[in-house]
Amino acid sequence: MKYISRNTKAVIDLTALVHNYQYISSLAPQSKTIAVIKANGYEHCAIEVAKTLEAYVPAFAVAFVDEALTLRNAGIQSPILVLEGPFQHSDFTIAIEQDLSLMLHTHEQISWLKDNEDKYLGDVWLKVDTGMNRLGFRVEEISSVIASLNNKHHSKLVLCSHFSCAEDKENPKTTKQISQVKALVKQYDCQFSMANSAGILNWPESHGHFNRLGLSLYGVSPIEPCVIVEPLKPVMTLEAEIIAIRKVLEGETVGYGDTWQAKRLSTIAVIAIGYADGYPRNAKAGTPVFVNGEIAPLVGRVSMDMITIDVTGITKINVGDIVELWGKNVSVDTIAKHSDSINYELLTRLSARLPKTFIENNV
Ligand SMILES: *Cc1c(COP(=O)(O)O)cnc(C)c1O
């Protein structure tokens, strides 16, 4: 029996998702925009996201083979790119069986490709490191790696790199990364892919044959410092219910550690969401919560299952009212600012205990 007592959930608006995909891909009309749905679609439910976007996208991208298998097992047939590539030799067998494309970034992975030379039919995504210094061949190694590919794989080559500072429009590092990739592309006459969300929005010259759209697909801005990209619509609304309302006298404290003290007679609402759901524990007093059209500040520490907010002066408020923790009225960026985190982390750290519901795509 599926029984839901607690009215705490992430509401996923699939119409907004399609809108964001269409808007962002229209900014790069010469590129194919791949939808990045790693980490369970930035915790928007990768399967639902993939089912919704399958009719629109040329391909999906995930971080590792297991995530691709989850999609295939759910019946997703679109091309899938595995961004971190194969971790072990057997990942190649699975990639062949399941028709996955692999990003390759080590000599060992290239040797696995050679072991499967005739059987691997995916594109050969070759990662070049242009300054992130995380994954990828160094620029000076690339020629020998490309030279070692057979003709069939050569024709399926997609040269790929990842930006380290693209969220900052002023940072010259990105220009340097773009010119390094473009020089290689000219030399080897191959397809390429560089742009993530920030690349697509901030750096049109980085648009490649493929762009890799993650964060902004979900309606969230990758641009620092927290620039709202107007046409984007937040896909997720995190909601919870007020389960108690109480008076707190001047001088009394609220929550663990007595970190917050009432400066006046206050009305405190207790909300059924906590850090065990993924609401950040280090959200500070003053973090906004959207209640019945108004903003109320978080007070006291975030507990495992509850938070407390100061609703003094908000007249229409009742146990059972639903509040928004983030979504269309309070952005996840704002909550990230108040909790020393970033939008990516807050979205992907939502816990398995938090149910999701979906608003159907009607585009
Ligand atoms: C996660 C990821 C992306 C998507 O980045 P966003 O900033 O979320 O758009 C693109 N490319 C690679 C290699 C990634 O790992």
In the chain, where are the structural domains located? 31-220, 236-359
The pLDDT tens digits for 59-83 are 999 999 999 999 999 999 999 999 9
The pLDDT tens digits for 237-277 are 999 999 999 999 999 999 999 999 999 999 999 999 999 99
Mean pLDDT of 33-51: 98
Are 290 and 309 in contact, with CB atoms under 8 Å apart? no
The pLDDT tens digits for 123-173 are 999 999 999 999 999 999 999 999 999 989 989 999 999 999 999 999 999
Q: Is 80 exceeded by the pLDDT of residue 10?
A: yes
> Which pLDDT does position 22 carry in this prediction?
97
Among the listed residues 280, 208, 229, 167, the one whose alpha carbon sits nearest the alpha carbon of residue 58? 208
Mean pLDDT of 191-215: 97
Any idea which residues carry the catalytic annotation?
38, 256
Question: 196 CB under 6 A from ligand 1?
Answer: yes
For residue 60, the surrounding DSSP H or E stretch is strand 60-62
In the 8-state DSSP scheme, what is residue 341?
Answer: -
CA 194 to ligand 1 center in whole angstroms: 10
Report residue 2's pLDDT band, with 50, 70 and 90 as the boundaries. confident
Report residue 223's pLDDT band, with 50, 70 and 90 as the boundaries. confident
User: Are 31-220 and 236-359 in the same CATH fold?
Assistant: no
Tokens for 184? 């290689």
Class of domain 31-220: alpha beta
Q: Is 70 exceeded by the pLDDT of residue 211?
A: yes
CA 196 to ligand 1 center in whole angstroms: 5
Pocket perturbation via mutation, ligand 1, pick of 40, 57, 130, 196 by most ligand atoms within 8 A of CB: 196
Right CATH number for 236-359 from 2.40.37.10, 1.20.1250.20, 2.40.40.20, 3.40.30.10?
2.40.37.10
Burial class (CB in 10 A: 0-12, 13-18, 19+), 360: exposed
In the 8-state DSSP scheme, what is residue 353?
Answer: T
Closest approach atom of ligand 1 to CA 162: 13
CA 163 to ligand 1 center in whole angstroms: 9
Mean pLDDT of the chain: 96
Q: Is 70 exceeded by the pLDDT of residue 226?
A: no
Does the predicted model carry a pTM greater than 0.85? yes
Residue reference for tokens 């938070």: 307
Closest approach atom of ligand 1 to CA 212: 10
Question: What percentage of residues in the chain have a pLDDT greater than 90?
Answer: 93
> Which pLDDT does position 1 carry in this prediction?
78
Among the listed residues 71, 63, 117, 69, the one whose alpha carbon sits nearest the alpha carbon of residue 87? 63
Question: What percentage of residues in the chain have a pLDDT greater than 70?
Answer: 99
> Which pLDDT does position 225 carry in this prediction?
61
Mean pLDDT of 7-29: 97
Burial class (CB in 10 A: 0-12, 13-18, 19+), 336: buried
Report residue 48's pLDDT band, with 50, 70 and 90 as the boundaries. very high
Q: Which residues contact 205 (CB under 8 A, 6 or more apart)?
A: 178
Mean pLDDT of 89-96: 96
Q: Is 80 exceeded by the pLDDT of residue 328?
A: yes
